[in-house]
Structure 1
Amino acid sequence: MRRSFAFTCTLLIIGWLLAAIACVQVPAYTFWPAAFVALTLPVALLLNLLSVPYWLLRNWRVAALPLLVAVLTWPHLQRGVALHPLRVAPAADEPGLRVRVLSSNVRIFNVYPQLRDPDLASSKKLIQWVADNPAEIICLQEFYNEPQSSTSKEKDVFNSVERIGVRSGRQSFVSRSLTNRAGAEFGMAIFSRYPILRRGTVNFGKLTQNHAMWADLRLPNKDTIRVFNFHLQSMSLDERDIVDSYSSKAGFRNKALGLMRRFKRGMVSRSWQVDTLTRRFERSPYPLLLCADLNDLPYSYSYDQIADHFQNAWATVGNGVGPTYHGQLPFIRIDNQFASPEWVVDDFWVHYEIPYSDHYPTTATYRLMPK
């Protein structure tokens, strides 16, 4: 009877796992409950893996079933937990042109009063670190700049276009979502040591911080590549509310329903936003590099639609979860870089030593393979 019950549980876990994988493919704007089922996928993957050693000890014939499912769903596991313990760094003489890319949500360089520290120390350090980074391409979300024409008294600190761009030998493209009365600019930015040939912006309705931008860059070998930098709809969740919702029964009653409503609205928005972008990706005549604050997890529709056609840099060469969110919620990877098949991913790093934003910066090295 115990074995019969365990076998039934194993079948239920496999059914749950397959249902969650199917739900990942469903956009939230067509059927939003599927998005919540999809988020349970890592639990189902883990339980299926745990059932393999259990049945190996009990009945090896039965173990073949969850083992086969684990092999078939391994790419889904790799999206959340990358495993490359035996990977060797590529040699310096490997073929292909190397391109280094930095991507970071810089949280408007902490310009708001509630984010500031004495003497604007974190703002200065973050801007200087980005400016000094050796990456040839830099993509920044939640960007902030005070040009020389600004009337702000702090423009010597926040003149980020000049410091990251002009002074560092990079061309710049700033996609502005707002310019305030003092002349300060909010939006996103792409900086490049390579010439910028063409550029554009993709709005998701009204232009806000949540939009996309792209630039065509001419590489030293005369190839042209297209870089997308995008910031999908924010989760609109206060992490203190999330912590309160599971810390007590009262917190759950007071916070959980509101959190679910906001989370639902965010998932619906991100699903149609990523559909808008994937159509743009398909029309690109050039190899693509994508930098994104997805505001979504690896087991989501928005991540899945990109990962089905592009290499995720962390999943390709990393080890572990690779969290990028700097806050009270652990193991959250919402910042990603992707590359089209023409590229080889050499390395990828999350910079935990740079704690000046609520997102850790990421850098990657790619090689564009000869045609």
Structure 2
Amino acid sequence: MRRSFAFKCTLLVIGWLLVAIACVQIPAYTFWPAAFFALTLPVALALNLVLAFYWLLRNWRVAALPLVVAFLTWPHFQRGLALHPLRVATAAEKPGQLVRVQSSNVRIFNVYPQLRDAQSNSSRQMVKFLVENPADVLCLQEFYNEPAGTRSQDGSLFRTVEKIGRDAGRESFLSRTLTNSAGAEFGMAIFSRFPIVSKGTIKFGKLTQNHAMWVDVRLPSADTIRVYNFHLQSMSMEERDIVDSYSSKAGLRRKGLGLMRRFKRGAVVRNTQIDTLIKRTERCRYPMLLCADLNDLPYSYSYDQLADHFQNAWATVGNGVGSTYNGKLPFMRIDNQFASSQFTVDDFWVNYEIPYSDHFPTTGIYRLVKPEQTTK
């Protein structure tokens, strides 16, 4: 076969693709440039498909090479662009205990002055959405609560543990990271309509907003499951700086190097945090559901480690990119839900109708399949 320029390009793209996949599996604390090269993986995946179609028109024998590569790397493609056009939600009468989970980064309910709007409408609407939510379990990151006795000018607006928890018929677990001088509490929270039988916190070094928490809940079927809620290290990059960096050459020169340094530092910390979390999940004997603000993209070591151990709900049943970041940066899916193999994912969606934070909430419906049912 004559080694044409197109064929050389095909080999180059396949090599690029394989190296990028390898980089996804390398933690940034071991070799930090891998985190940057891993971000090129979606481009390599797309180019490989383009070349497959090109060779189908030119030479089907050569087309077999990129087609085989596309088949083998399809799970990685699904991470960034899920395609399930013929999927229908699992029928409700199928056996197994249903669990509906809502996860959301609530951005401290916009309590700070720079986040508030007129009459704190976004705060009221966000709390109302959570209070009335039909989910069995709520996992909330960047949580804020003003317990009774807090010195506040907002009345009962931010008595969120009380409103979302007891008043709505849910048990609650607030993992506090800070209580300020006025008595207000910051941290993460899990609310459950099922009884909470055990709970705990996982520190990533010093206890900050970036940590993990878990609860064991008893289902009506008498099964116990564990739900993890965690928030990884921020990317530490301002949206405005990112937009400036790619909008002009001058912006790239002014902002680019600083953004790269911050991304590197964030990747190193997130990769360490995810290793800590994975080790803890490996010791759990219960079926698991995980909700997270990963602050990382599907083409990252953090996501890859979770995907190696759990099903990603969006990649399993979703269609499209499933972006969860509510801002100017497109295609950012940084909020995710995962499930262990004992669950089937019935449905999953992003709540784009709830724009009150810089993250859109996500909702997943899972079915716990008992071991004897999986063998039938």
Q: Using the alignment, how far apart are the partners of 2:13 and 2:189 within structure 1?
A: 44
Equivalent positions of 1:238-277 (< 5 A) are 238-277=238-277
Q: Using the alignment, how far apart are the partners of 1:37 and 1:246 within structure 2?
A: 18
Q: Using the alignment, how far apart are the partners of 1:194 and 1:48 within structure 2?
A: 47
Equivalent in the alignment of 1:98:
98
Q: Using the alignment, how far apart are the partners of 1:88 and 1:253 within structure 2?
A: 48
Equivalent positions of 1:1-371 (< 5 A) are 4-371=4-371
Map Cα deviations across residues 273-329 of structure 1 (whole Å, 9 max, x no partner): 000000001000100000000000000000000001101000100000000000000
TM superposition shift of 1:88? 1.6
Q: Match of 2:353, SS?
A: coil
Structure 2 stretches lacking a partner, 5+ long: 372-376
Structure 1 stretches lacking a partner, 5+ long: none
Q: Using the alignment, how far apart are the partners of 1:362 and 1:143 within structure 2?
A: 16
Q: Using the alignment, how far apart are the partners of 1:49 and 1:351 within structure 2?
A: 31
Preserved contact between residue 90 and residue 346 of structure 1 (Cα < 8 Å): yes
Q: Using the alignment, how far apart are the partners of 1:181 and 1:89 within structure 2?
A: 48
TM superposition shift of 1:259? 0.3
TM superposition shift of 1:2? 9.8
Runs of 4+ with deviation above 3 angstroms: none
Map Cα deviations across residues 236-256 of structure 1 (whole Å, 9 max, x no partner): 110000000111111111100
Q: Using the alignment, how far apart are the partners of 2:177 and 2:336 within structure 1?
A: 22
Q: Match of 1:158, SS?
A: coil
- Tell me which amino acid in the other structure corresponds to 1:33: P
Map Cα deviations across residues 207-254 of structure 1 (whole Å, 9 max, x no partner): 111100001111111111000000000001100000001111111111
- Tell me which amino acid in the other structure corresponds to 2:282: E
Q: Match of 1:197, SS?
A: strand
Q: Match of 2:309, SS?
A: coil
TM superposition shift of 1:155? 4.1
TM-score, reference length from structure 2: 0.97
TM superposition shift of 1:370? 2.2
Map Cα deviations across residues 179-212 of structure 1 (whole Å, 9 max, x no partner): 0000000000000011111111111111111100
Q: Using the alignment, how far apart are the partners of 2:33 and 2:155 within structure 1?
A: 47
Q: Using the alignment, how far apart are the partners of 2:250 and 2:89 within structure 1?
A: 51
Preserved contact between residue 146 and residue 155 of structure 1 (Cα < 8 Å): no
Number of residue pairs matched?
371
TM-score, reference length from structure 1: 0.99
- Tell me which amino acid in the other structure corresponds to 2:43: V
TM superposition shift of 1:152? 1.3
Map Cα deviations across residues 320-355 of structure 1 (whole Å, 9 max, x no partner): 000000000011000000000000100001010000
Q: Match of 1:172, SS?
A: strand
- Tell me which amino acid in the other structure corresponds to 2:167: R
- Tell me which amino acid in the other structure corresponds to 1:243: V
Q: Using the alignment, how far apart are the partners of 1:89 and 1:150 within structure 2?
A: 45
Q: Using the alignment, how far apart are the partners of 2:211 and 2:307 within structure 1?
A: 19
Q: Using the alignment, how far apart are the partners of 2:91 and 2:130 within structure 1?
A: 27
Preserved contact between residue 179 and residue 185 of structure 1 (Cα < 8 Å): yes
